[in-house]
């Protein structure tokens, strides 16, 4: 493994730098990542529901599970969007006060 300058890193050095990078993630960055992951999950659940609907005789039970998962994941997606909006409003307020 190499760093940005092309120097070789040992596994231990790489893991140390990776850990420092993870610790430096801001709450806003974390929320954005969670929102992207949740969006991908919603797309997958919706596609699964479509496939289940096309084979409803055999996959009715999968459709029920996916429908419940869709509701939970959609509520989580809304929550992440609201939290991001709050962070942006806080940043905007702080920037106006400077």
* Structural domain boundaries in the chain: 27-97
pLDDT at 17: 85
Output the pTM of the full model. 0.76
Of 4 and 63, the one with more pLDDT: 63
Contact 49, 67 (CB under 8 A): yes
Residues 18, 19, 20, 21, CA torsion sign: positive
The region of weakest confidence among 15-19, 66-70, 80-84 is: 15-19
Residue 93 clears pLDDT 80, i.e. is over it: yes
2: β partners: 8
């Amino acid at each position: 493994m190499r760093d940005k300058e092309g120097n070789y890193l040992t596994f231990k050095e790489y893991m140390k730098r990776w850990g420092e990078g993870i610790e430096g993630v801001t709450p806003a960055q974390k929320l954005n990542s969670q929102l992207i992951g949740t969006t991908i999950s919603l797309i997958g659940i919706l596609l699964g529901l479509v496939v289940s609907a096309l084979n409803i005789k055999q996959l009715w039970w999968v459709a029920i599970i996916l429908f419940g998962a869709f509701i939970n994941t959609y509520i989580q997606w809304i929550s992440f969007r609201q939290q991001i909006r709050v962070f942006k409003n806080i940043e905007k307020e702080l920037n106006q006060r400077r």
